[in-house]
Structure 1
Amino acid sequence: MTDVQSSVSTDPYILMEIIRLQTEIAKQGLDLSGVVQAVVERIPSFTNAEGAIVEYTEGDEMVYRGASGFAAPLLGTHVKREASLSGLCVRLGQVLRSDDVVLDPRVDAGPYAEVGVRSMVVAPLKHDGSAVGVLKIVSTSTHAFTARDVRVLELMSELIAAAMYYAARNETSALYQQATHDSLTGLANRSLFFDRLRHRVSPGRRQLEPLGILIVDVDRLKRINDTCGHRAGDAAIREIALRISRIPRKSDIVARLGGDEFGVILGEISERSDLLTIVERVSEQTDQPFRFEGRTMHLTASIGYARFPEDGNDVDALLEVADRSMYEMKRKRSTRSTPAQQTTQEQLF
């Protein structure tokens, strides 16, 4: 192991990638969800991994709070701690490796079959002396990982654990808040959105209730950033978040999915007309001018929607329908805009 540690510490490429990742983590500050996403996106670039996952221990379950690469569809998945390699990693507090998850009795292979995971390495994330989750790298090949990959994962898990410590300020409730909410808007983040959506449409539920989902994409945010600066862009995002949040009931979930995209989960949508009414109300709220530091900016948003179970029985099917309708709305708006209208809109910022 000493030779492996030495090779990792002297490999200039790995050292540079670790430094880059440390810089990215520092930029995220107290945004723990941002830290998690930065790690899962970056770590496959300097290991043999094709994807990476961060799971948190929540009660008797492990919940996927970050995922990248081919494992991205697993975001929001719940598995039982006692029946998973991740749960064993948390219990033992040590790095574990599975060279073939299909043949490994320690692994609950159920979630991995749909995306094709065949091997993995799991490292504990320790917070305030105890493991509160795991960092995992995965591959579609068996025997994909080496001792060097294991050492890199150990180093990365220490980085995340340190970020978790400072972000959560030693409080479990704060840790959960940081892991599941967007720091800019205070809304639920992508992880919590998929967590709740998967739970609501899970075939394992005793009673499946009809629900609606919205995908809201802010139009021309890049233009606002380029023209008025990122402070104006951030202010616009916060304003859109506030406007969307006025519409649903408290029991509904409003989330920032990333960048200029928001998601809404609407319960008790018994009729399609109820969903269309909410779409209209959100559109009216978002399509209003916004003033920032004495300047008026024209805000609009394209909204896609889907209803469960009418438009699909699982998360992927519902999102596909919602995305399609969102892009159709965006296309129609673009077609209707005349050059004169576009000039008028541009003058607003």
Structure 2
Amino acid sequence: MPPSTDQLMQVIRIQTEIARLGLGLGDIMGFVVEQVLSLISADGAAVELAEGDEMVYRATAGIAKEQIGLRLKIDGSLSGLCVRSGEILNCPDSEADPRVDRAACRLVGLRSMLVMPLQHKGVTVGVLKAMAAQPNRFSSAGVVLLGMLSEVIAAAMYNSVRYDIDELFHQATHDSMTGLANRALFMDRLRSTVLQSERDNRPIGVLIIDMDGLKQINDTHGHRVGDAVIIEFANRIREGTRSSDTVARLGGDEFGVLLTAVEQPRDVDTAVQRIDSEIQARFAFEDKEYELRGSIGSAISTVDGLEIEQLLEVADQRMYAAKRQRSASLQVCA
């Protein structure tokens, strides 16, 4: 069965929205995987890029959302076979298909998938993958539609990357607005750092930072001012960290910091104080001044555990507690 008119119109709308927003490669990949869900009734989607002998989840949606940064061996995975062959691959049932990394499929929660090659300068550098929690989900129409979306990403690769694969990697792993690492790179480094920390028995720290008041700035002064504030906020976080730390824009007004050179828990508290101090100075932009504030939550592996999800959850909860405390203090002062 061919794609319906409504599905083809949705592809055109996706292409139009990307052209209107002028997104960078990393943002386009994130946008496209979200569209896969409704376009072909997928439960999850991912863009995986080939890096060395591994496939790395660089954009995710749906059931794969929490697996961003996940690494699979090229040898022994359907994605790796797709990269090596350059062919579209269909897996009707991961439990019966010897080509797949079954452990990874179970981790994500998928049973069937379509894997579409992504080509840059004639070389297959990654895949666009649609996933379903049930076997035999995808039709021939899904193959056609996923192919159209893979061409959208391939065009973004061609237009935004004019040099080599290193530049492609940078575009795919960094936030186009701030230049910081994006969520995919942050999660990738967090996974590898947690493993290293466990081997070396050395603590690491995780910070979640939420910008306070961005919506009000956007509503009152417009998104151009809001974007300038986000960029300045990102620069100040970067100024408050060390070269060994990973600073990332996780999305919207949320940022993350991975602290690796940590000797004891109070080093994390010191980092929080240093970043908070950098953030708080007023920001002058086009003859006006704006207050910058951020709520910071922290977690440390030796205290809060070595599970990635737990570290992020603890830091997130403490960030929201700090935000509530600040809001209550402002109400008292008012």
TM-score (norm 1): 0.92
1:305 to 298, 308, 326: 298
The verdict on how the C-alpha distance between 1:44 and 1:98 changes in structure 2, with shifts beyond 3 A counting, is same
Measure how far apart 1:209 and its partner are.
2.9
Asked if 2 retains the 8 angstrom alpha-carbon contact of 1:29 and 1:167, the reply is no
Identical amino acids, percent of aligned pairs = 48
Measure how far apart 1:162 and its partner are.
1.1
- Alignment-derived partner of residue 345 in structure 1: none
The verdict on how the C-alpha distance between 1:203 and 1:241 changes in structure 2, with shifts beyond 3 A counting, is closer
1:197 to 190, 193, 196: 190
Asked if 2 retains the 8 angstrom alpha-carbon contact of 1:24 and 1:38, the reply is no
More deviation, 135-144/165-174: 165-174
Q: What is the SS of the residue equivalent to 2:125?
A: strand
Q: What is the SS of the residue equivalent to 1:337?
A: helix
- Alignment-derived partner of residue 347 in structure 1: none
More deviation, 19-28/290-299: 19-28
More deviation, 67-76/303-312: 303-312
- Alignment-derived partner of residue 29 in structure 2: 36
Runs of 5+ unmatched residues, structure 1: 342-349
Matched, 1:274 2:267: yes
1:186, 1:107 → 2: CA distance?
A: 35
1:209, 1:339 → 2: CA distance?
A: 41
> In the TM superposition, what whole-angstrom CA distance separates every residue of 1:25-75 from its partner, at most 9, and x where no partner exists?
223536101100110111111102111100001111101000001111110
Asked if 2 retains the 8 angstrom alpha-carbon contact of 1:74 and 1:111, the reply is no
TM-score (norm 2): 0.96
The verdict on how the C-alpha distance between 1:27 and 1:118 changes in structure 2, with shifts beyond 3 A counting, is same
- Alignment-derived partner of residue 223 in structure 2: 230
- Alignment-derived partner of residue 113 in structure 1: 106
Task: Write the mapping of 1:1-349 to structure 2, written as runs, cut at 5 A.
Answer: 4=1, 7-8=2-3, 11-29=4-22, 31-202=24-195, 206-338=199-331, 341=334
> In the TM superposition, what whole-angstrom CA distance separates every residue of 1:87-124 from its partner, at most 9, and x where no partner exists?
10011111101111122110002223233111111000
The verdict on how the C-alpha distance between 1:27 and 1:200 changes in structure 2, with shifts beyond 3 A counting, is farther
Measure how far apart 1:314 and its partner are.
1.6
Measure how far apart 1:204 and its partner are.
10
Asked if 1 retains the 8 angstrom alpha-carbon contact of 2:244 and 2:261, the reply is no
2:17, 2:332 → 1: CA distance?
A: 41
1:17, 1:165 → 2: CA distance?
A: 23
Aligned residues: 334
Measure how far apart 1:12 and its partner are.
2.0
The verdict on how the C-alpha distance between 1:108 and 1:182 changes in structure 2, with shifts beyond 3 A counting, is same
Measure how far apart 1:339 and its partner are.
7.0
Runs of 4+ in 1 over 2 A off after TM superposition: 27-30, 202-209, 338-341
2:160, 2:175 → 1: CA distance?
A: 13
Measure how far apart 1:228 and its partner are.
1.0
The verdict on how the C-alpha distance between 1:203 and 1:238 changes in structure 2, with shifts beyond 3 A counting, is closer
Q: What is the SS of the residue equivalent to 1:264?
A: strand
More deviation, 55-64/305-314: 305-314
Give, as a single letter, the amino acid of the residue that structure 2 aligns with 1:271. Answer: Q
Runs of 5+ unmatched residues, structure 2: none
